[in-house]
Amino acid sequence: MEINKKVPSFKLPGTSGLQFNLSDYKGQYLVIYFYPKDATPGCTTQGVDFRDAFKKFQALGAQIFGISRDTLKSHESFKAKFTFPFELLSDEEEKACELFGVIKMKNMYGKQVRGIERSTFIIDPNGKLIQAWRGVKVEGHIKEVLQFIKQHNSI
């Protein structure tokens, strides 16, 4: 996945019965964030931060989607518990994870485990990848994403 290159279309099941298809969102900015696991502290904070800034993203014409390898059932509970106004996509087969290259070996409690590296991507209204953040630290990240879209929108 390279900056300024068209993102290949992909489909994933989502919460609220959504069948996400990238090509359905032509003409809009997409903020796609990958996170390791539903209902864990960092992932909850990240989702809540996106939730709290949701109206600002909408005002800029941006849609938000969170992706992890969790099941739709897990996603529905996570979304409901924290009243996320955006949909979560289930990538149990790691199709989108592979496409965006977010699966990494990570250290967890002294063991090497394969998991999602917290990452955020912005796709422009023409379907091109225009920004990528990898190895995201949650604190302050959503403001940075919002600022990027604001600047890009005014070009």
Active-site residue (options: 12, 43, 102, 130): 43
Please tell me the pTM assigned to this model: 0.94
Q: For the chain, which residues make up each domain, given as ranges? A: 11-153
Q: What is the DSSP string of 33-100?
A: EE-S-TTSHHHHHHHHHHHHTHHHHHHTTEEEEEEESS-HHHHHHHHHHTT-SSEEEE-TT-HHHHHH
- Check whether 155 has a pLDDT greater than 70: no
Q: What are the pLDDT digits (tens) for 37-92?
A: 999 999 999 999 999 999 999 999 999 999 999 999 999 999 999 999 999 999 99
Q: Mark whether 43 is an active-site residue.
A: yes
Q: What would be the CATH architecture of the domain defined by 11-153?
A: 3-Layer(aba) Sandwich (3.40)
